[in-house]
Structure 1
Amino acid sequence: LGSALLAASGKRLRVWAHGGHAAARHLAQVLGLSLFRELRQMRRPLTGPELPEPVVPAGVRIRTFVPGQDDTAWLAVNAAAFAHHPEQGSLTQRDLDDRKAESWFDPAGFFLAFKNDELVGFHWTKVHAEEQLGEVYVVGVAPGRQGGGLGKALTTTGLRHLAAAGLPTAMLYVDADNKAAVSVYERLGFTTYETDLMYRTES
């Protein structure tokens, strides 16, 4: 199957190995694929001691997303915060509308941070009802506003919201090479639950 995919794609192939198992590593090596991306799923319990109050930077206020009113500002900050990320950073109004139409979308779990009237960061949470999991779906801080504790404050705000909804566990996905984000999440009690690896042929 791997050889057939290589032939069909002209030897331009990207493959996810969920769980990063040894057999997948071996197959990738046999096919001549190199490791390109390491995506970690991290989890932490939401039960037990109450999460601390978020420490919001001076002059910043946090409120929830208002569909239609906040779309344009959110898309701009999302694009700037994830300019390096080919998937998240390229979201359009249509992409946002598609997500707002999903059954899981809940603006009460979509938090925006403002400095004066400028949107400077956000935390969008997601609930996986069947699995009883709350997800840190995406956290973004505008360039120039990073490093001041806003990301941690937004993440804590969202986690407290998920805990208040009665969810026992929170999860998130983060690229292993995003050291700053991994460090923030580890300090908030997250540990690696599973690792997914992407292999590719092109250099």
Structure 2
Amino acid sequence: LAESGRRLRIWAHGGHSAARHLAQVLGLTLFRELRQMRRSLGDLDLPDPVLPDGVSVRPFVPGRDDAAWLAVNADAFAHHPEQGSLTQRDLDDRKAEPWFDPAGFFLAEKDGELIGFHWTKVHAEEGLGEVYVLGVRSGAQGGGLGKALTTIGLNHLAGAGLPTAMLYVDADNKAAVSVYERLGFVTHETDLMYRTES
């Protein structure tokens, strides 16, 4: 606290009571609640995804789709300080990771324009498939595209033989939490971010 000039943000992974107590003692305030949600893929029996009229889905093509994806990501996550500010370099770094697989990176288009996406990720050692990032452009939200894209990604992960799917979502993103709960996800763990600044 002294070194930071009392401007500090701290994650408490698991949100345990001892961390809550320490935060209170230090005068830190709760700033963010991040939920890890999970569901089994072994019993995956979801209705077929229903895409809005005129919408088609295809895999991401590295190089060709980068700029369009970055623009939709920035729009969909304009409220999110980390995800919404990704740059080409950030995307290149992720494409260079051994887990990157464009076959599990789904793009939704309407009239040749990108309007949403679901980027999945596989944690092979843990046997987990992840809803890594899912976003819908602001003008295309509310029509069921997010649910359809989630279902497409979950079917992809189940088809790869993964037993469990997981995701991270901010607790205050009520719309996303509701979609995930209706798709069978339950909270597995909660991480809390505390901060010193008011």
Q: TM-score, normalised by structure 2?
A: 0.99
Please state if 1:163 is matched with 2:155.
Answer: no
Cross-structure match for 1:29: 24
For the pair 1:116 / 2:111, whether they are aligned, the reply is yes
One-letter code of the match for 1:155? T
Residues 164-190 of structure 1, C-alpha deviations (whole Å, 9 max, x = no match) = 000000000000000000000000000
The Cα shift of 1:51 comes to: 2.9
Say whether residues 1:66 and 2:58 are aligned partners. Answer: no
CA contact (8 A) 2:44 2:158 kept: no
| Alpha-carbon separation, structure 1, partners of 2:90 and 2:43 | 37
User: 1:43-192 counterparts in 2 under 5 A?
Assistant: 43-192=38-187
Residue 39 (str. 1) matches residue 34 (str. 2): yes
**Aligned Cα RMSD in Å?**
0.6
Q: In structure 2, how many angstroms separate the alpha carbons of the residues matched to 1:115 and 1:67?
A: 19
Q: CA deviation at 1:49?
A: 4.4
The residue matched to 1:44 in structure 2 has which SS?
strand
TM-score (norm 1): 0.96
Question: Which secondary structure state, in structure 1, belongs to the residue aligned with residue 37 of structure 2?
Answer: strand
Deviations 1:48-97 (A, max 9, x none): 24332111111000000000010010000000110110100000000000
Q: Which amino acid aligns with 1:135?
A: E
* Aligned counterparts of 1:14 and 1:161: Cα–Cα separation in 2: 36
Matched-pair contact (CA < 8 Å) for 2:61–2:102: yes
Q: How many residues align?
A: 198
Give the CA deviation at 1:116.
Answer: 1.2
Deviation of residue 10 (structure 1)?
0.6
Determine the C-alpha separation between the residues in 1 that align with 2:157 and 2:25.
Answer: 43
Q: For 2:176, what is the secondary structure of its paired residue?
A: helix
Match of 1:17 in 2: 12
Partner Cα distance (2:163, 2:63) in 1: 32
**Cα distance in 1 for residues equivalent to 2:43 and 2:178:** 22
Structure 1: distance between partners of 2:177 and 2:46: 19
User: Could you list the runs of 5+ residues in structure 2 that have no partner in the other structure?
Assistant: none
Q: Counterpart in 2 of 1:194?
A: 189
1:29–1:49 Cα change, 3 Å: closer
After superposing on structure 2, the runs of 4+ consecutive aligned residues of structure 1 that deviate more than 3 Å are none
